[in-house]
Amino acid sequence: MKEQKHKDKKMPSSRIANFYRLSIQERLKILRERNFISEEEYIRLKNGNHLLRSEDSDRMIENVIGVFGLPMGLGLNFKVNGKDYVVPMVVEEPSIVAAVSSAAKVVRQAGGFTAEYTGPILIGQIQIVDVKNPSAAKQAILQNKEEIINLANSLHPKMVARGGGVQDLEVRILSGASSRGDMVVVHLLVDTRDAMGANLVNSMCEGVASLIEKITGGEVFLRILSNLADRSLARAQCRIPVKLLEGKGYSGEQVRDGIILAYEFAAADPYRATTHNKGIMNGIDPVVIATGNDWRAIEAAAHAYAARNGRYTSLTRWEKAENGDLLGFIELPIRVGIVGGPLESNPTVAIALHLLNISSAAELAQVLAAVGLAQNLSAIRALATEGIQRGHMSLHARSVAMAAGATPEIFETVVERLIETNEIKVWKAKEIINELAVKEEKPNAELYLAPSEQKIPTGHGKVILLGEHAVVYGAHAIAAPIPLAMQAMVSDSDEDGIHLIISRWGVEERLQKGKEYRYSIFNSLSLILHELGLEKENMKIEVFPYVPRAMGLGGSASLAVAIIRALAEKFKIKLSLEEISQLAYKSEQLVHGTASGIDNTLATYGKFLLFQKGNPPKIQELRVPQPIRIVIGLTWSESLTAKMVSRVRRAWENNKRLYNHIFKEIDQLVLEAAKAIENYDLEHLGQLMNINQGLLNALQVSGREIEELVEIARNNGALGAKLTGGGGGGAIIALCPENAEKVAKAIRNVGYRAYITDLK
């Protein structure tokens, strides 16, 4: 944090559709892909290594016995002064993160928030008592202002060099304020730059105390900062057309007028204003905590500022513009920092600041003001329409279901039932859990892969049981299809060209020659169209991907096969299975560089095979006496097959004798495994898989997540476990004839995905 590496990082869009629907691992993967977080931060967050340790916390406060945890989520959709922000929020109350993200989305559609900041000024107070002539003392202090400021600044020359330090001095007289008469109070107005500055200001007050006593003839008593940072005002505003406010049976005008009426209640009544402003701080406090700042100081300053005119009132203002738009404003004191020891003591703070991509404390203050305004908009909009309780219901039900001990398999069902009954209580959740427990239906159905029922052109996904990488060098490999497939449909198009749509991946492109695309599918598609003589046809190609990308499950090959079959069906082209496989193989060579041919073969034939590379390849169907139950564990770290194949190729070229020996060892394992499969000797098959994993590790194609999943699977009773596919990430397979659910749940419990299927 001493070196603000995130300052120059270009922030991608804070709009991430359906982020809440993803697993934690998927969310982290997206954040890494879009460069919100670094690779190191991704690994730390995924493994929980970003958390404050007990031994570190023992140096932060006294009498430490442990560390207390709170959830950290992201406020999305924020655009402030034209810049996108994802906003880290540490908070335990349901609905806050969802509410602020929803409001920010509405404001984003209207152009976003505008914000400003008056400056990072913190006030240091010096209390003087026993002053014989307060007015004369005040004049004497002001006459010697420059000397006092120079003395204070000499105590922190580095801060002055950065453009900070004492900027001005003020004197106040508090008449009859104590039993010892009038008080004279000196205010040092200190620019603390990007530091929180409490210790700095306190030391300045201490440092000038004796000089002030000499000037006034009084006694200096308290010397301390003030948390009423009213010289550090953050302001934000937004303008929302009424059309963006309509919904849930209410017109935009009704919502706008309801929001204004709710604000007017808070402006007029301190009882309502207290709850109104608490809602604002519901948004601000979690960000202050996430960034390692003093949320208690921010709270105190905000509420004091709300009462600055002698009556407690709203910190926001909502009104109707001349054209009917809704206008929102907020102003409150915010004094925060982004550097310094207190922030550096908590490792999560560095990640939060990196996520925010802010370059100064002033910028953080502006974001906080926007968050407060968004949270207020969400709360009073709910009050003005459906009521706050209904808006909270779903998220509250989730907390109750968790407290009642609902397991992941039935969690969503318990939440739905709670909302249906309108009894969102722990006792009711436990009652529902007990009802579900005695039902005969299978509670873990979502763990099992089910094939797609739609009968459209398909390319099969696959797992490799043994033989990865060695198969490229002539060794045998064993692979089997899984109930995950790529499917495609081709239809006529009224527009010129080839229009490719993959909705699940957010792909909707018209194929253009020479253009560089993010996905290799475009190059593959160009090759396929050329080989089939269809590049000049007008068409729409829709792909329905059920094989996860870059997970070692044959996604690219199955995608090619699905498209080839769909094109052949649409344009009445007769292709044999061998021709489909060969064309998909050409696509694989384009995608992966050096391809063995096993992926396209499985994608085409969809059978349990013993495979050996060749022209033509050797393909032997394996007869399995009974289905072989496995667990597929997904790391959500991409398995870059081309990269891994290239790495092995370079190593082989540098030491062919050694690597050929490893490939021969793997070949022998595969041939032995083929016999074990046909004899249904699963214990022996598991042993062979474990040995194969060791050899793959020796080839340096395994990885930390892979090894973690393999260990979890074996520790929970898997007979064998190994990576499947290219490696470097991706997926593992675990042989689990008796305890597949236990293994799958153990994998899911540490944040990965796991599925059960039968190979046959």
Positions annotated as catalytic residues are 93, 278, 294, 392
DSSP per-residue string spanning 594-609: S--SHHHHHHHH-S-E
Instruction: Give the type of residue at 663.
Output: F
How far is residue 351's CA from residue 291's CA, in Å, rounded to a whole number?
9
* Residue 8: DSSP 8-state: G
DSSP H or E segment with residue 100: helix 96-109
How far is residue 756's CA from residue 750's CA, in Å, rounded to a whole number?
17
Distance set, CA 597 to CA 263, 578, 584, 642, 722 (Å): 67, 12, 9, 14, 21
Rg over CA atoms, the chain: 33
- φ, ψ of residue 377 to 5 degrees: the values are -60, -45
SS3 (DSSP) at 633: strand
The residues near 278 (Cβ < 8 Å, ≥ 6 apart) are none
Residue 697 CB neighbour total at 10 angstroms:
17
Cβ(478)–Cβ(622) below 8 Å: yes
Cβ(433)–Cβ(404) below 8 Å: yes
Distance set, CA 611 to CA 304, 567, 667 (Å): 75, 27, 11
How far is residue 462's CA from residue 556's CA, in Å, rounded to a whole number?
11
SS3 (DSSP) at 485: strand
Distance set, CA 363 to CA 72, 335, 627 (Å): 21, 11, 60
Cβ(428)–Cβ(421) below 8 Å: yes
How far is residue 290's CA from residue 347's CA, in Å, rounded to a whole number?
11
DSSP H or E segment with residue 267: helix 252-268
DSSP per-residue string spanning 200-218: HHHHHHHHHHHHHHHHHSS
Residue found by looking up tokens 């160009």 in the block? 526
Handedness of CA 312, 316, 321, 325 (dihedral sign): negative
Cβ(380)–Cβ(262) below 8 Å: yes
- φ, ψ of residue 12 to 5 degrees: the values are -70, 180
DSSP per-residue string spanning 654-719: H-HHHHHHHHHHHHHHHHHHHHHHHTT-HHHHHHHHHHHHHHHHHTT---HHHHHHHHHHHHTT-S
- Kindly state the tokens that stand for 316: 């926001």
Cβ(105)–Cβ(15) below 8 Å: yes
How far is residue 232's CA from residue 376's CA, in Å, rounded to a whole number?
21
Cβ(321)–Cβ(228) below 8 Å: no
